[in-house]
């Protein structure tokens, strides 16, 4: 007994997924990353850039305190009773930016895979 499989359909679907990951996903990811960035004066959102590479892309926060706000902490001590921190962590983005953005990317890729036909 033998069986034939036409892999042409699967190759087309894989190409569609590759195009989605290369062309549309980086912009969507950057927008989600910026939406998850806490805002005080807008410096962090303005200086966050998308860097496309041959094998994917990077999102770079070009400011000194990018690691601090990515951990969900607040970059400087706010005035007391302003409501900007809770035990030293930002109230706007307590989980940072990378964790929610990673979940967003996973969700978008799964959603796209379900849609491909």
Per-residue pLDDT of the chain in tens (117 residues, 90 and over written 9) = 888 888 898 999 999 999 999 999 999 999 999 998 887 778 888 889 999 998 889 999 888 888 877 877 766 665 555 556 666 667 777 788 889 999 999 999 999 999 987
pTM across the whole model: 0.80
Query: Within the chain, what is the greatest distance between any pair of CA atoms?
Result: 77
Vertex 64: Cα angle to 87 and 42 (nearest 5): 75
Going by C-alpha positions, the residue among 82, 105, 86, 88 that lies closest to residue 36 is 105
User: Hey, what are 60's tokens?
Assistant: 């770079």
CA distance 106 to 90: 25
CA distance 75 to 91: 12
């Amino acid at each position: 007994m033998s069986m034939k499989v036409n892999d042409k359909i699967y190759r087309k679907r894989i190409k569609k997924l590759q195009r989605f990951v290369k062309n549309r996903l980086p912009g969507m990811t950057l927008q989600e990353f910026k939406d998850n960035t806490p805002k005080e004066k807008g410096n962090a959102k303005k200086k966050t850039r998308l860097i496309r590479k041959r094998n994917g892309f990077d999102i770079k926060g070009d400011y000194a305190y990018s690691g601090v706000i990515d951990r969900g902490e607040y970059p400087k001590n706010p005035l007391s009773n302003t409501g900007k921190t809770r035990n030293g962590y930002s109230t706007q983005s307590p989980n940072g930016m990378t964790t929610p953005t990673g979940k967003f990317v996973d969700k978008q890729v799964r959603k796209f895979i379900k849609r491909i036909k």
